[in-house]
Amino acid sequence: MPSAAPAHATPHDVAFQDEVRAVIPRMSRLEMCVQCGTCGGSCPSAADMDHTPRMVFAMVRAGQRQEVLRSNTPWMCVSCYFCAVRCPQEVHIPDVMYGLKAMATREGLVPDSVAPDFSKTFVDNIHRYGRSYEVGLIARHYLRHYLTRLPGMAPMGIGMVAKGRMGFRPPKAIKGRDDLRKILARAEELEAGS
Amino acid sequence: MSQYVYYPGCSMDASARAYADSLEAISGPLELQLIEIDDWNCCGATEYMGISPTRAYTLVSRNLALAEAQKNGSRTLVAACSACFMNLAKTENYLREDKTLAAKVNAALEAGGLHYTPGSIDVRHLLEIIFDDIGIAAVHDHVTRPLAGLRVAPYLGCLVTRPDLDRRWRSREHPQAFDRLLRTLGAQVVDFPPRTDCCGGHMTQISPATGFELIRRLVDAADKAGADMLVTTCPMCQMNVDAYQAEMNHYFKTSYHMPILFFTQLIGLAFGIPAQKLGIGTEIVSSRAALAKIGIEIPVVEAQQPVGAGAAGPPRRPRAKQTGLPMPAMPGESGEAPR
């Protein structure tokens, strides 16, 4: 990916920014951020973020690797794309957040394990069945992280089951599950090689 | 009869079964023939992207490749779930725009004997098919039981009109077409500014306080506008507002009762289709009273209603910053959570 570093940045600064850009498969335009703050002002979960997206992009540019990857900011992204459609520089902000999550997970620098565990369980089910498995996902997740929520959740869970919206049987695996696994394994190799 | 390749998505078979059932019920009158992609896989929702973007695009592309191989005369792939639609449409756009990504994805697909030609499939949301191909006038022709007197809040959610990389919507934040569709059914559409705001997505699972606040904003805006119910296009939105409303009420010590139905269920009612064929009654927050208001009796699909919440209740973590960067407040809303 060609580097389009801002003229004033030192080589040290943009090394981390380049690293982040390289994790995102499609051009992210991260280097185009002008620090206007439209993203944070548009973000429904900014109030619960350690740093607003704008600040994270400044930290990326400043090479604050640890602080960025330990920040809860990408994990609080709800993927609503308000920032994406409002950004005057057309930075693909949710894509940057996904890239940061992938980096933080790979390096074990996540702020806490709740969100990464949820993603991991979801993805494990895809590898197992080719489809998502709501009950398995929720049950595992709540037992591990939200035991205290379970009593309050019980009536809803019973309602979902009684109304036929949740079944305890896992989904039947898709026919092409083994092929799907081969495809994803190949994608992983290609990713590592990039 | 218009024929399309169809991607249902995982929730249509589970929590959003009512969406699938009502879509099937209205497909006949609308002359809509949806042919499911054979052996489709999960789109990865918003979870796979955070593990590995490249693998996530590859996962979605398997569905595009299967759809391309199965075109049977239609190059249009229809998705009903907003999140599935966004993933399919975004991936298709990225593969078209980025040859390096397309080459990488195809090299991976080859391991399963598949290939996708970028641009060969046109991904569209079910709503776009209704607006552009079937037409609101044709919908109107089938209305035999207008929903006169029903006040609905049009809740489109995020992922139909955003990111909209191919720019098909006139407005990505305040689209009006959904309102027109609901008015065609005879319903009264209330003023509902957060029509494309976020329902919290997976926040109910990873940061409940954040999720509950986003649900509260929607339910509160609908309540203040005097809506009888929210109407949505998205299984995730329906699940959050419906299944987590009791827990949200417990968290904020509020007592909202705001049902949320799928737009296909309302189309079915307006077409005179019996409520039980439309999955009505399977919502957790019952729409019984709202529909009784306009003379529609719904069958009993009785299950234990959530009465308050258990002793322990949800984790009560205060919002990190009460004043930090909220969305614009609704008129008459302080911006702070009610106590």
Q: Which fold has domain B2-127?
A: Glutathione S-transferase Yfyf (Class Pi); Chain A, domain 2 (1.20.1050)
Q: Is the dihedral of CA B202, B205, B209, B215 positive or negative?
A: positive
Q: Is the dihedral of CA B265, B267, B268, B269 positive or negative?
A: positive
Q: Which fold has domain A11-106?
A: Fumarate Reductase Iron-sulfur Protein; Chain B, domain 2 (1.10.1060)
To the nearest 10 degrees (0 to 180), the angle between helices B99-110 and B53-69 is: 70
Terminal CA-CA length for chain A = 10
Region A104-119 average pLDDT:
90
- Secondary structure class of B230 (helix, strand, coil): strand
Region A117-127 average pLDDT:
92
User: Distance (Å, rounded) from C-alpha A147 to C-alpha A5?
Assistant: 47
What's the pLDDT score for residue B17?
A: 95
**Long-range contacts formed by B28-31: CB under 8 A, 24+ apart:** B29/B142, B29/B271, B30/B130, B30/B134, B30/B138, B30/B139, B30/B142, B31/B1, B31/B2, B31/B134
User: Does any CB of chain B come closer than 8 Å to the CB of residue A136?
Assistant: no
**A contact test, residue of B11, B15, B41 with most A CBs within 10 A:** B41
- Residue ranges of chain B that CATH labels 1.20.1050.140: 2-127
pLDDT digits (tens, 9 = 90+) for A17-32: 999 999 999 999 999 9
What's the pLDDT score for residue B315?
A: 54
pLDDT digits (tens, 9 = 90+) for B175-213: 999 999 999 999 999 999 999 999 999 999 999 999 999
Tell me which chain B residues have a C-beta less than 8 angstroms from the C-beta of A115.
Answer: 50, 206-207
* Burial of residue B197 (number of CB atoms within 10 Å: 0-12, 13-18, 19+): buried
Per-residue confidence band for B324, with pLDDT thresholds at 50, 70 and 90: low
Q: Please answer yes or no on whether A187 and B104 come within 8 Å at the CB atom.
A: yes
What's the pLDDT score for residue B64?
A: 97
What's the pLDDT score for residue A4?
A: 57
User: Distance (Å, rounded) from C-alpha B15 to C-alpha B21?
Assistant: 12
Q: Is the dihedral of CA B148, B152, B157, B161 positive or negative?
A: positive
Cβ pair B153, B228 in contact under 8 A: no
Cβ pair B173, B161 in contact under 8 A: yes
Look-up of token digits 């209740």: B313
To the nearest 10 degrees (0 to 180), the angle between helices A53-61 and A11-23 is: 120
pLDDT digits (tens, 9 = 90+) for B31-87: 999 999 999 999 999 999 999 999 999 999 999 999 999 876 689 999 999 999 999
**Running DSSP on this structure, what letter comes out for residue B285?**
S
pLDDT above 50: residue A137: yes
Per-residue confidence band for B310, with pLDDT thresholds at 50, 70 and 90: very low
Domain segments of chain A: what residues?
A: 11-106, 114-193
pLDDT above 60: residue A1: no
Per-residue confidence band for A7, with pLDDT thresholds at 50, 70 and 90: low
What's the pLDDT score for residue A111?
A: 84
User: Distance (Å, rounded) from C-alpha B229 to C-alpha B155?
Assistant: 10
User: Distance (Å, rounded) from C-alpha B321 to C-alpha B313?
Assistant: 22
Question: Which class in CATH covers the domain with range B146-292?
Answer: alpha beta
What's the pLDDT score for residue B323?
A: 54
Per-residue confidence band for A169, with pLDDT thresholds at 50, 70 and 90: confident
User: Does any CB of chain B come closer than 8 Å to the CB of residue A43?
Assistant: yes
C-alpha A156, offset from chain centre: 27
Percentage of residues of chain B with pLDDT beyond 90: 84
Question: Per-residue b/e over B14-26, b at no fewer than 16 CB within 10 Å?
Answer: bbbbbbbbbbbbb
Tell me which chain A residues have a C-beta less than 8 angstroms from the C-beta of B113.
Answer: 179
User: Distance (Å, rounded) from C-alpha A128 to C-alpha A140?
Assistant: 15
Per-residue confidence band for A193, with pLDDT thresholds at 50, 70 and 90: confident
User: Distance (Å, rounded) from C-alpha B302 to C-alpha A119?
Assistant: 33
pLDDT digits (tens, 9 = 90+) for B14-28: 999 999 999 999 999
Which of B13, B238, B280, B239 has its CA nearest to residue A169? B13
Rg (CA), chain B: 20
What's the pLDDT score for residue B120?
A: 95
Which of A79, A81, A78, A39 has its CA nearest to residue A56? A39
C-alpha B88, offset from chain centre: 15
Look-up of token digits 């981390």: A16
Please tell me the distance in Å from B168's CA to the nearest CA on chain A. Answer: 13
Cβ pair A71, A77 in contact under 8 A: no
Cβ pair B19, B283 in contact under 8 A: no
- Give the tokens for residue B187: 């319903």
pLDDT digits (tens, 9 = 90+) for B129-161: 999 999 999 999 999 999 999 999 999 999 999
pTM above 0.80, yes or no: yes
pLDDT digits (tens, 9 = 90+) for A50-78: 999 999 999 999 999 999 999 999 999 99
As a residue count, chain B comes to: 339
Region B268-296 average pLDDT:
96
- The 3-state DSSP composition of chain A as helix, strand, coil percent (nearest 5) reads 65, 0, 35
Per-residue confidence band for A6, with pLDDT thresholds at 50, 70 and 90: low
Please tell me the distance in Å from A10's CA to the nearest CA on chain B. Answer: 28
- Give the tokens for residue B52: 């590995």
Look-up of token digits 């092409």: A176
Per-residue confidence band for B334, with pLDDT thresholds at 50, 70 and 90: very low
User: Does any CB of chain A come closer than 8 Å to the CB of residue B328?
Assistant: no
- In angstroms, the Cα distances linking B72 to B34, B79, B93 are 11, 17, 22
Which of B245, B161, B157, B228 has its CA nearest to residue B199? B157
User: Distance (Å, rounded) from C-alpha A124 to C-alpha A127?
Assistant: 5
Mean pLDDT of chain B: 90
What's the pLDDT score for residue B321?
A: 59
Please tell me the distance in Å from B52's CA to the nearest CA on chain A. Answer: 6
**A contact test, residue of B7, B10, B300 with most A CBs within 10 A:** B10
Region B258-271 average pLDDT:
98
Residue in A47, A84, A114 nearest the CB of B325: A47
ipTM: 0.92
User: Distance (Å, rounded) from C-alpha A26 to C-alpha B150?
Assistant: 45
Virtual torsion, Cα B264, B29, B9, B7, nearest 10 deg: -140
Q: B314 or B251: which carries more pLDDT confidence?
A: B251
pLDDT digits (tens, 9 = 90+) for B236-253: 999 999 999 999 999 999
User: Distance (Å, rounded) from C-alpha A147 to C-alpha B81?
Assistant: 30
- Residue ranges of chain B that CATH labels 3.40.50.11810: 146-292
Q: In sequence order, which residues have a C-beta less than 8 Å from that of residue A14 and are 6 or more positions away?
A: A3, A5, A6, A31, A61, A63
